[in-house]
Every structure is written in C-alpha cells, then in structure tokens.
C-alpha cells in the first residue's frame, strides 16, 4: 500500500493522509481502547475505503465510524458467526475491501476473528494488519515490569476451581504475565493469583487512555487486599512479574514442601502449588509427588 501524502505539515490535521485505492482483501483494523485520537490515519482511511465493515457490535462501533467518516455498511461478526456466513464474507474478499474491527483495540486479541483470517488465507485472499492500540501491550508498558519476555493469557476462568487450575499452569512460566479482567472479578482474581503464584510484583492498569487512567503497582498480596472490598469501575488489565530467580532447589527441600502439601491436596494440586512456591518445573514436582504419595 502506498500513501500519497504520508507526512502532514506541522500543525495540520493528522487525518489528511490520502491513500491510493486499496486492493481487495481482509483488513484487520485496530481501533482505540478509549481515546478516539488514537485511531491511526491509516486505520481511518482503511475504514473510509472499506466496502464492508465487520464489527462485534454495530451500535458500539457506530460512533467510531462516524468519527472516521466511514460510511460503508456494517455487518456483525463474532465467534458464533456460522460457517455459511463466514464463507459468504470470504467470497467477497476477491473483489472488495472488507475491514474487521472489534469493540475496542486489536481484533483477534481476546476478540473474534481468527477463524475468518484462516478462512481468508486458505481461500488465497490477501490479509493485511492495520496495527494500533491493544490494552495488553499498553498495560505492559505502563507496569514497569520486565517486558523482554511476556505471556498474554487473556481472561482467567470465572469459577474458583478452573481459575486455580489455570493459574497453576501459569505458575512455572518464567515470564511476565498479562491478563484481562473485569472490575467485579478483580479482587477474587488477585487473591487467587497471590495464592497460586506466591509473592510477586504486579500492576493493575485501569481505564487506559481514558479520563481516569491509573496504574497501581505492588505485590499481588497487597493489590488483592486493596481491591478486596470495593471493586473498581472500568476496564482492567493485570500484569504479574516473573517468578524470582532462585538457587537450585534440593530434593530434600522439594520433598519437605511436597509432604506438607500432600497432607492436604491431591498429587497434581500439591505439585502445582509447590512448583509455584519453589519455582521448580511442575514436571519435576509432579514426578516427585507421585513417588512420595505411593510410599
């Protein structure tokens, strides 16, 4: 894609870039996560040139499209869109510009779209990314936690047992963790993270790019206590620092921790808890837990 007027003169509106007519295909267009001014000139122009705009919720996206000056018809697209409807969209990609947006941020990131991208690719159509805001990346950059290695884990399951299991799986990952959460579930999620991951630095980034943007940092335990009583309003990302580097854990140390955990838990839960506590691989803890519980 060429941009005929890529550089705006000082003081000029950033919306003046005029692009050549876009070739047909699927355009994955990132949109603001709160501040409309974060819509990129290229994203706005792509929406203006689109023949069809696929949105999660047409009412939510109407304001953004009015701001961008995009007039194409909208159709609803989500994870439950049928195979037949998806095929009908794919059939248009050979001759039309189809833009996929989500309610906010980057489509496909905890949002619908990957099945459509796969279908478009396997039918031989062009797929283009128009990158831009994503709450996960914005929160990571605000958190002050290591950014060299991170794992985006989306939303934790809402139910206690499933959430504890998901956290146990994450416990041995030696990377910063990035999680989406809602206000009412923040307190319980932080408490479960503190229980499953032990003492770690963390951050709660809220309402990023909006009027009440804030990023509160502290240990998981402190943050869990802070948000236990009054659930915060707005949209939230939790960022959790990686486990601390530890000295090699001896078999004796591992056995002692496992014996205590096995007095309360099944071998698999005991192994998950101890692996998180001591920072050892879960596989090693589980193998040892099976040996100890067979005695």
State the residues that interact with ligand SAM by CB under 6 A: 33-34, 102, 104-106, 109-111, 134-136, 180-182, 205-210, 235-237
Where are the strands (E) in the chain, listed by range?
Answer: 25-29, 52-55, 74-76, 97-100, 127-130, 150-155, 176-182, 201-206, 214-219, 235-240
Nearer to ligand SAM, 206 or 282 (CB): 206
**Cβ(160)–Cβ(121) below 8 Å:** no
Q: In angstroms, give the least distance from the CB of 135 to ligand SAM.
A: 3
Shortest Cβ 21–ligand SAM spacing (Å): 28
Instruction: Express the helix, strand and coil content of the chain in percent, nearest 5 each.
Output: 40, 20, 40
Give one word for 11, left, alpha or beta, with left for phi > 0 and alpha for psi -120 to 50.
left
Return the exposure string of 237-257: e unless at least 16 CB atoms fall within 10 Å of the residue's CB, then b.
Answer: bbbbbbbeeeeebeeeebbeb
- Using Cβ positions, the residue closest to ligand SAM within the complex turns out to be 105
Q: How far is the CB of 12 from ligand SAM (least distance, A)?
A: 28
Strands of the 201-206 sheet, one edge to the other = 150-155, 176-182, 235-240, 201-206, 214-219
Q: How far is the CB of 40 from ligand SAM (least distance, A)?
A: 14
Judged by beta carbon, residue 69 or residue 154, the one nearer ligand SAM is: 154
Comparison of 99 and 274: residue with beta carbon closer to ligand SAM? 99
* Nearer residue to ligand SAM within complex by CB, 81 or 110: 110
By C-beta, is 232 or 243 nearer to ligand SAM? 232
Q: How far is the CB of 138 from ligand SAM (least distance, A)?
A: 7
Give min distance, CB of 239 to ligand SAM, in A.
11
Closer to ligand SAM by Cβ: residue 38 or 165: 38
Identify whether the C-beta of residue 288 lies closer than 8 Å to the C-beta of residue 250. Answer: no
């Amino acid at each position: 894609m060429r941009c005929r007027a890529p550089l705006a003169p000082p003081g000029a509106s950033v919306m003046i870039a005029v692009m050549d007519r876009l070739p047909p295909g699927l355009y994955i267009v990132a949109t603001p996560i709160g501040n409309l001014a974060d819509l990129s000139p290229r994203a706005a122009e792509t929406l203006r040139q689109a023949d069809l705009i696929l949105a999660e919720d047409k009412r939510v996206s109407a304001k953004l499209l009015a701001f961008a000056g995009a007039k194409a018809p909208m159709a609803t697209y989500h994870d439950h869109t049928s195979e037949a409807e998806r095929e009908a969209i794919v059939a248009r990609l050979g001759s039309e510009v189809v833009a996929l947006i989500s309610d906010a941020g980057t489509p496909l990131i905890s949002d619908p779209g990957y099945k459509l991208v796969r279908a478009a690719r396997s039918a031989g159509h062009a797929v283009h990314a128009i990158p831009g805001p994503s709450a996960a990346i914005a929160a990571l950059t605000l958190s002050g936690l290591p950014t060299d290695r991170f794992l985006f884990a989306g939303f934790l399951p809402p139910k206690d047992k499933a959430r504890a299991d998901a956290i146990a799986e994450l416990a041995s990952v030696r990377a910063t963790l990035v999680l989406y959460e809602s206000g009412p579930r923040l307190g319980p999620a932080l408490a479960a993270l503190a229980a499953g991951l032990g003492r770690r630095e963390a951050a709660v980034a809220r309402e990023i790019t909006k009027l009440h943007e804030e990023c509160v940092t502290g240990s998981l335990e402190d943050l869990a206590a802070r948000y236990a009583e009054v659930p915060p309003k707005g949209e939230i990302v939790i960022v959790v620092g990686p486990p601390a580097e530890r000295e090699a854990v001896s078999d004796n140390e591992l056995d002692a921790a496992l014996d205590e955990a096995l007095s309360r838990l099944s071998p698999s839960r005991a192994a998950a808890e101890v692996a998180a506590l001591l920072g050892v691989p879960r596989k090693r803890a589980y193998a040892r837990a099976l040996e100890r519980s067979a005695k």
